[in-house]
Amino acid sequence: MHRIGSHNNKEQNLIKKICHAISNGLFSEVHLLIENFGNETVDNPDADTVQAISGTVQIWEEHVASVQTMEPYSASEFLLRQWNKFLKSELKAALPDQVIYSLKSVIFTKTLKGYLELYNMSGIEDFEILSKVGYIYKELGNYDQAIQSLELARQQQKNDPRILMLLADSYAQVDEIRAAKLFFREALFIDPALCMEIECEAAFICTLLDKMREEKIPESLLYFWLPVYATVTGLFNVKRELKPVEIGKLKQSIQVLEQNLPEERHAPQRALLLNRYFWLLDHYEGIQAQKLLKDEILLKMKEIDSFLFERYIH
């Protein structure tokens, strides 16, 4: 988390004024605030942060000016692309959190306008537009509107893991934990790699991810192993009944993974296979299958990762 000048009330006051100006889209006022702050920041350790704010505001001032002549939808697409680039930039890493939040508020509010205008004009429930609207509402903290848009998107694309992840995270923010767990589990089963594109805010997921990092799970594989750890720890305790066609596909995918299992302990294929074993066990328990079938799966799980297996059965 970035902070600035916790020891300096003058700098704290500057940041508050900057955030207020940004939130109201008054980028030129930010430049005046920084200019009036004077040269006294040159030898101050927070001078680099003030410079980063100045550079960032300059960039976004230009972006916002450039969309004035665009169609609303094109403007929204442009702003969203630039935001995604900004998230990966060095400038973003140097900014205080409150500045990023203020900037996101004004940019996403502008972005939302174009998407909503297209949606209302077309009269078509396009899942791509609905999912983007839901994402923006979620980022702006309007979780009820996010859920409404994302549920409409899910009706068009029931198995899109990104939509399911956004839904899960939104439900978590309004304390609909059962729905959140169900959608998290579903999304991570379908495609953990695509789930990684969604920044998760749910406290119970973030806490588990931190514990996994402590156990040295590689950052790029966290979402592959997340459903495994969530099941082992009892976090994913919400299940659903599988349809016959899903059971067939589940068993088929298990066979494919079993035939091509790497030796490396944290390989993503091993996580995918373990997660599928958990789903198959749930199915067996649901239909009260013979103990022999369940024991066979448990033995395979033990062979793949005895450490996690012991935690699971205890």
Q: Does the structure show a pLDDT above 80 at 6?
A: no
- Cα distance between residue 189 and residue 191, in whole Å: 6
What is the residue type of 183? F
pTM for the structure as a whole? 0.89
pLDDT band at 314 (very low <50, low <70, confident <90, very high): confident
Higher-pLDDT residue of 35 and 155 is 155
Confidence category of residue 256, pLDDT binned at 50, 70, 90: very high
Least confident of 39-43, 51-55, 111-115, 184-188: 39-43
* Per-residue pLDDT, 36: 81
Task: State the pLDDT confidence band at 37, using cuts at 50, 70 and 90.
Answer: confident
pLDDT of residue 153 exceeding 70, the answer is yes
- Average pLDDT, stretch 202-221? 97
pLDDT single digits (tens) 67-95: 999 999 999 999 999 999 999 898 898 89
Predicted confidence at residue 9, as pLDDT, reads 73
Task: Of 215, 240, 243, give the one whose Cα is nearest residue 311.
Answer: 215
Q: Which residues does 157 contact at the CB level (< 8 Å), separation at least 6?
A: 127, 131, 163
Lowest mean pLDDT across 76-80, 123-127, 158-162, 235-239: 123-127
Residues 6 or more apart whose Cβ sits within 8 Å of residue 114 = 71, 72, 73, 74, 75, 76, 77
pLDDT at 46: 66
Output the pLDDT for position 14: 86
* 154-174 as b/e: b if 16+ CB within 10 A: beeeeebbbbbbbbbbbbbbe
Cβ neighbourhood burial of 45 (10 Å; 0-12, 13-18, 19+): exposed
DSSP state, residue 41? G
pLDDT at 47: 76
What are the structure tokens assigned to 101, written together? 């939040």
Q: What is the pLDDT of residue 123?
A: 73
Other CB atoms closer than 10 Å to residue 95's CB: what's the count? 21
Please write the tens of the pLDDT for every residue from 232-249: 999 999 999 999 999 999
- 258-271 average pLDDT score: 96
Question: Mean of the pLDDT values across residues 45-62?
Answer: 86
Looking from the CA of 164 toward its CB, the CA atoms found within 13 Å total 20
